[in-house]
Structure 1
Amino acid sequence: MRDMVAWHLLLAAHAVSATFNSAQPAPQLPLDAPSGIITSHSWDEPIDKDATGNLIFQSLASLMQMMPNAWYPNGHTIVRASIPPGTLLYHGRRDADYPTMDWTSVDPEHSIWFSVGENGTLFTFSTTRELKLLYFDGCSATKEGGVVDTQDVLIYGEVPHEEHWGGIASEWRRLADMCAWGKQYDIDGFIRMQASFEIMYCDFSKGLELVSTINTVTGGVIFKDPQSYRGNLMPLGTNDEKLESPSDHLDRPWTDPTPPPESWKGSPPKPIVGEVWHAGTWHNAFPGDTRVHLDLSSMIIFYDPAFRSLIEPRRSHKREDHRLLNISKEDIAAAQMDVDHVLRRDPGAGSGLDWQSLAQVIQDRFSDRLPYLDYLLHQPITNVSEQVADVRQQVIVSLIPYMPRAGVGEPAWYAAIARGCAMSFTSHLPASRFTKQEHVLKAAVDEVLHEVCRVLTATWREAFDIEEQDTETAETLFMKWRDNIKALIEWLDWQAWLGCSPACNEDEYCFTPQYIPFPGSHRDKENHLPRCMSMKPIDHYPGQS
């Protein structure tokens, strides 16, 4: 495998010179390569086809956010996390038994769903100390398929651990196995995502104090056949003795809501199924759920090219279909060793840099300008001279902070612009204090900036004197820029561009359907698009028609 371009390495080069039509992409340097190595690669060499900086950047920018993780459900990231003292967590069940090892949610709507029947109970807890957690990104709680690959690699050392999901009994076994594994690191639980963010909590007698218990007026739903579906009641409403309960089949299990209590007046409460998913959308976009604090100096991601066995399988799959199925035993062992090292080292290790905010700042700078360029370039050509002038001005807007007055029009001038654009966010960072994982993040950020700045500067070089060119040349370059900007946007694939368009009305919320193991929920892209959902109560999963 060729080494990946690391843009911060390019900055150390003594000279920058090459023609724009360079035929070969730059060799790929390891993402954790130390800074300061001198290379001879030019600023205008394109990224290697196996580069993963864009995928790492996407994952970094999307952590603890519902919408991008629903869009790309097969997570590739494991991050050490914590929740501060005084944070409220919730647990719902069909009885009033105090939980031991079970699930909690960050929003009460999620837990109320499980406080089913006339004895349904909602527990509210407050954290008494900082909780030690491990976070798996993607739709890591939707039970089956690629969403649990990272869990399987870490806990079981194989992918997949189960050929087919065995129902809620499988979930209980997974909870028990993960908590047994985490005991060596004093881990309190594991953060995953489905309807909202949940925590698989290992021992409710540690780190939590009970704030309240409520026998809820109405909760989740009454199941059609409690005997057949009792397994589906388990996630937040049972105990260890139910571990082997069967899950016969996976038809939609709910029917009518819990009857209201005596003396209730008026219409009974309607089902709250939709509110479970509505609450999750409160954490749709950056900054995500801020109650969870991520230690990004510990971010281990399987898009790191150090996991060599995953490079070839990715070439034939779209982003949404990336999995860890072909991971080698050597890479599994390396990942497990990295996690072990991260969990045993001092939490204060690393630079202290807010990597996710850095990714957001970069998106803020370019995420509306690039689509606007794309818009201009996709207008019908009616007055090409005027249109290329508009594009030229927008490229100037993006690059003007990096454009020196000296040497205008010279090859070194374009190189200086590209350097300034690409280095402005990272050249000052304290690389000597980086963890191994932070070197991966910096190289990914540099790679993304290299490609953004390369395309913009190359466009500027051709647009510099475009107003002096003939119509045929202008049209040719206009079409070329259209293709280049479109390709750049597709390669970046930023979560900032994901959402409901047009924006939802006041009586709607923006929802990205997830695949869940019930009939009516599909994994096809069309069914997966974000859409506006009515705030009115519904009695079914909002991804169903």
Structure 2
Amino acid sequence: MRYHSLVAALSLGSTALALHDQQFPVSTTGEACVRPLNIANLNNDGSHSFILGLKSEQWRLEEGPIENTTGNLIFDTVHSLLQRWPNTRYRNGHNIVPGVIPTGTLLYHGTVSHTIPSGPFWAATDPEHSLVFALGYGSGWQLTLAAMRPLKVLYFDGNSAAKVSEGTMDTQDIIAWGEVQPERYRDDQSRIKDLCRWGQEFGIDGFVRMEMDFEVMLCDVTAGVEVVSFLHVRVSWKDRIPYPGVPSTPSNPALDSDIWNRTFESMHSGSWHNRYPGDSRIVLDLAGLVSLYDIALAPSLVPVRAGLERWDHRVLGISSEDISQVKRKLAEVISRPDPSSGIDWKTLTHVIVDRYADRLEFMQHLLNFTSSDSQELLQRAMLMQNQLRVVFAPYILNATVVPSADTPGLPPLQWASPMFRLCATTHTTAMINHVPLMTPSERLLLKAIEDTTREICRVTTKMWAVGVMSGLDVLFPLELNEEELDVAQIMNDWRQDTQKLMSWLDWSIWIKCRPACGPEEMCYIPTWPIDGPEPWPPHQSPRDPAEVKNLADLVEHPPEGSASADGFFFIRIPTEEWRKPQPKCIRRLLPYES
């Protein structure tokens, strides 16, 4: 049949609604029985339902995700938890997750004096990060602590320790202060004290955030940790840090190489946690996930996000009623006595990404092809069909019958619905017996996984079925009329479908340096405070190292009319490049230039 006729026939949705399962020309004789899922209103609050039956209208290949769905966003942010790369790319976090830091875990605190903190303070998970804060006159102090019991923590995802007003602190603000206060983005002293005051009722020991590496805001140095060592270390920080690129003078000494090295290595240590499993020293309890992408939990954010690109999503604009609901939900998950279902959600999301990320990226590569030679184009289309068949190999039933194009009353691709259903539900079908044991957070995760796998399988099933009916699949040989077959149109539609699906999934695993970096380079994505939009605080940098509160305080205002240095440290970048960070290779050795 002509390909354009096949596409036009996809609009026969009204016919599909009238079909019953027995009308499909597919026999499952001899196949293992798959029990249909038909789960409804098992969530106590009625906000989620799971209906995964076998009715044909539920598996129509022309129906994509509903408007404003967030299942894909919940799936991606959950898979990205505690990974530096995706949380640097999308800085404004939307998840708050309880967890523990296991017994024996080491934490590090760099300081200017030989004094153990008496109140809430910051500790790094890697010593390279904490050494940046050991800011003495040529020397500093490195405090190493060990957890003597599991430390109860809350994790704020995103680049949640970046001191910018664009949304990185929003989720912390609503817990600490009951509202988003973007003008207080630098007020970390009050933030940590108020968070610890709020968490005291629930036995919270600290809060996990991410700067250029991960850190823990510990509430009490006397609770759950002990001192391993408190070392006086040699550093080369001067009492005044000049603006990079300014000529050295007696009153304004130039930065020496060790300063550049320490700054770079603090970021390099963070890159160890770029990808899955992320920083494994924090063990999260996903059965207690609180997501601001949960439409039932924070409905006021739906119109706030409408029409915005994902870069611009933030919690500012949430209603006071929703903030109260979020805080109640968080109190419930922290205090809940009920066990969870026992499902390993972290591994499950990774299995799904593992299964499809590489395949989709390879298909995108195959489709990036044009040729005026019809035979070359046909060969490439058949290679693409082979890859689609590989994806569907576990679900292609031996008894599948491909109808002729002119079968009356049957949409042309509806015969592939059983494969669509098997693909979409394979990871969740067995969970039916666990649903009554699931927490509300787990049911949210289940729905996000269902939404994500359904769309992956819907798009790829449609692409595969089009190839089959166009005579491109060797497992289902159909007479190929090359004069009627519009291979260029098939390839173009496949290309658009693949791009749209990958954009909807938006997995950061596809964001990488191309070509790959060399052995003396590192793949880098714009990171606060290295090249954020506000690297200079709105005040003169302190001359006394004891006044330094965070890394941004190390940098003073650039001299009037001065040019930026070639290095990337503390240098402004174009606003759009900061807003939509893209990867690039940078040197791992002096001089640190891109």
Pairwise same-fold verdict (TM > 0.5): yes
CA distance 1:399–1:32, change in 2 (3 Å): farther
Measured after TM superposition, the shift of residue 271 of structure 1 is: 4.5
Q: Distance in 1 between matches of 2:573 and 2:324?
A: 34
How far, CA to CA, are the matches of 1:462 and 1:269 in structure 2? 59
| Range moving further from structure 2, 36-45 or 419-428 | 36-45
CA separation in 1, counterparts of 2:451 and 2:23?
19
Q: CA RMSD in A?
A: 2.6
Q: Structure 2 vs 1, CA of residues 16 and 400 (structure 1 numbering), >3 Å: closer, same or farther?
A: farther
* CA distance in 2 between partners of 1:177 and 1:16 (Å): 62
Tell me the equivalent position of 2:425.
423
Amino acid aligned to 1:321: D
Q: Does 1:35 align with 2:50?
A: yes
Counterpart amino acid of residue 193 in structure 1: M
Q: Secondary structure at the match of 2:169?
A: helix
Are residues 1:491 and 2:504 paired? yes
Distance 1:478 1:67 in 2: 32
Unmatched tracts of structure 2, length 5 or more: 1-18, 25-40, 243-251, 404-412, 472-479, 537-570
1:203 and 2:220 are equivalent in the alignment: yes
Q: Is the CA contact (8 Å cut-off) linking 2:211 and 2:528 kept in structure 1?
A: no
One of 462, 486, 491 as aligned partner of 1:478: 491
The DSSP-based 3-state class of the residue aligned with 2:370 is coil
Alpha-carbon separation, structure 1, partners of 2:72 and 2:22: 24
| Pairwise CA distance, 1:219 | 5.9
**Aligned to 2:64, what secondary structure does the other structure show?**
coil
**Any conservation in 1 of the 2:60–2:414 contact (CA below 8 Å)?**
no
Residues 212 and 528 of structure 2 are in contact (CA less than 8 Å); yes or no, is this contact kept in structure 1? no
1:341 aligns with 2:332: yes
Partner of 1:440: 444
Aligned to 1:193: 210
CA–CA separation in structure 1 for the residues paired with 2:525 and 2:291? 24
Q: Any idea what SS the aligned residue of 1:442 has?
A: helix
Q: Is the 8 A contact 1:43 1:450 kept in 2?
A: no
Q: Distance in 1 between matches of 2:51 and 2:451?
A: 16
Among 339, 343, 355, the alignment partner of 1:353 is: 343
Q: Which residue of 1 aligns with 2:353?
A: 363
> Corresponding residue for 2:89?
71
Distance 1:196 1:318 in 2: 26
Give, in angstroms, the shift of residue 270 of structure 1.
6.2
Taking the aligned partners of 1:34 and 1:403, their CA distance within structure 2 comes to 29
CA contact (8 A) 2:123 2:130 kept: yes
- What is the CA-CA distance between 1:49 and the residue it aligns to? 2.4
Residues in 1 aligned to 2:360 and 2:333: alpha-carbon distance in whole angstroms? 37
Which piece of structure 1 moves more, 98-107 or 459-468? Answer: 459-468
Corresponding position: 1:83 with 2:87 = no
Matched, 1:149 2:200: no
For 1:401-412, list aligned pairs within 5 A: 401-409=394-402
Q: CA deviation at 1:257?
A: 6.2
Out of 372, 391, 405, the position equivalent to 2:384 is 391
Structure 2 counterpart of 1:156, one-letter code: W
Question: Which residue of structure 2 lines up, in the alignment, with residue 505 of structure 1?
Answer: 518
TM-score, scaled to structure 1? 0.82
Amino acid at match of 1:453: C
Counterparts of 1:141 and 1:466 in 2: how far apart (Å)? 53
Aligned residue for 1:22? Answer: none
Give the C-alpha shift of residue 34 in structure 1. Answer: 3.5
Residues 374 and 126 from structure 1, CA distance in 2 versus in 1: closer, same or farther, beyond 3 angstroms? same
Q: How does 1:514-529 map to 2 (within 5 A)?
A: 514-516=527-529, 517-519=534-536, 520-522=571-573, 524-526=575-577, 528-529=581-582
| Alignment partner of 1:463 is 2:467 | yes
Query: Quick one: structure 1 residues 537 and 125, their matched pair in 2 at CA, closer, same or farther if it must change by over 3 Å?
Result: farther
Partner residue, 1:4: none
Is the aligned partner of 1:116 residue 2:121?
no
The Cα of 1:476 is off from its aligned counterpart by 1.9
| Conserved 8 A contact 1:32-1:440 | no
Give me the whole-angstrom Cα distance separating, in 2, the residues matched to 1:17 and 1:283. Answer: 52
Shift of 1:502: 2.2
Please list the CA deviations of residues 381-403 of structure 1 after superposition, one character each: whole Å capped at 9, or x if unmatched. Answer: 33332222112111111101101
Contact 2:158–2:168 (8 Å) recurs in 1: yes
Match of 1:107 in 2: 126
Q: CA shift at 1:256, angstroms?
A: 5.5
Task: Give deviations 1:421-471, integer Å, cap 9, x for gaps.
Answer: 111111112222111011111111111111110011111221113232445
Structure number with bigger Rg: 2
Q: SS of the residue aligned with 1:124?
A: strand
Question: What is the alpha-carbon distance in structure 2 between the residues aligned to residue 209 and residue 361 of structure 1?
Answer: 38
Alpha-carbon shift at residue 16 of structure 1 (Å): 9.3
Structure 1 pair 102/489, CA: closer, same or farther in 2 (3 Å)? same
Shift of 1:408: 2.0
Matched residue pairs, number?
A: 478
CA distance in 2: counterparts of 1:14 and 1:431, whole angstroms: 28
CA 453–219 in structure 1, closer or farther in 2 if over 3 Å, else same: farther
The residue that corresponds to 1:535 in the other structure is 588
Cα contact 2:59–2:421 (8 A) shared by 1: no
Question: Following the alignment from structure 1 to structure 2, what is the Cα–Cα distance between the partners of residues 336 and 280?
Answer: 30
Once the two structures are superposed, residues 80-139 of structure 1 have per-residue CA deviations (whole angstroms, 9 ceiling, x without a partner) of 011111011000100001112210000001111111124510001111000000000000
Distance 1:304 1:286, change over 3 A: same
1:310 to 1:422, Cα distance in 2 relative to 1, 3 A: same
Distance 1:295 1:211 in 2: 28
Partner of 2:114: 96
Work out whether residues 59 and 420 of structure 2, in 8 Å CA contact, stay in contact via their aligned partners in 1. no
Equivalent residue in structure 2 for 1:178, among 184, 195, 214:
195
Cα distance change of structure 1 residues 432 and 465 upon mapping to structure 2, 3 Å threshold: same
| 8 Å CA contact 1:275, 1:537 repeated in 2 | no
Pairwise CA distance, 1:537: 4.6
| 8 A Cα contact 1:125 1:212, kept in partner | yes
Native 8 Å contact 2:121 2:219 kept in 1: yes
Cα 1:14–1:130 change in 2 (3 A) is farther
Q: Distance in 2 between matches of 1:56 and 1:436?
A: 14
SS at match of 1:308: coil
- Greater shift, 462-471 or 170-179, is seen at 462-471
Partners of 1:255 and 1:368 in 2: how far apart? 50
Q: Name the residue aligned to 2:309.
A: 318
- Match of 2:354, SS? helix
Cα distance, 1:16–1:426 mapped onto 2, change above 3 Å: farther
Q: Please give the alpha-carbon distance, in whole angstroms, between the structure 1 residues aligned to 2:202 and 2:253.
A: 42
The answer (yes or no) to whether the contact 1:515–1:523 under 8 Å persists in 2 is: no
Q: Is contact 1:272–1:537 with CA below 8 Å preserved after alignment?
A: no
Residue 523 of structure 1: how far off its partner (Å): 6.8
Q: Give the match's secondary structure for 2:91.
A: coil
Helix, strand or coil for the counterpart of 2:285? strand
CA distance change for structure 1 residues 419 and 163 in 2, over 3 Å: closer, same or farther? same
How far is 1:268 from its partner? 7.2
Q: In structure 2, what residue type is equivalent to 1:190?
A: F
Instruction: Assess if the C-alpha contact under 8 Å between 1:388 and 1:466 holds in 2.
Output: no
Structure 2 Cα separation of the partners of residues 95 and 47 of structure 1: 56
Amino acid at match of 1:418: F
Find out whether 1:54 has 2:54 as its counterpart: no
Q: Percent identity?
A: 35
Partner of 2:322: 331
Shift of 1:15: 4.1
1:156 positional shift:
1.6
Please list the CA deviations of residues 183-233 of structure 1 after superposition, one character each: whole Å capped at 9, or x if unmatched.
0111001000011001111000111111111111116554349xxxxxxxx
- Tell me, yes or no, if the aligned pair for 1:221 and 1:271 is still in contact at 8 Å: no
- Measured against aligned partners, the alpha-carbon deviations of 1:233-285 in whole angstroms (never above 9, x if no partner) come to xxxxxxxxxxxxxxxxxxxxx97569xxxxxxxx9786411111111101110
Greater shift, 270-279 or 175-184, is seen at: 270-279
2:288 partner SS: strand
Q: Against the structure 1 CA distance between its residues 372 and 102, is the aligned structure 2 distance closer, same or farther, given a 3 Å change threshold? A: same
Letter in 1 for 2:522: Y
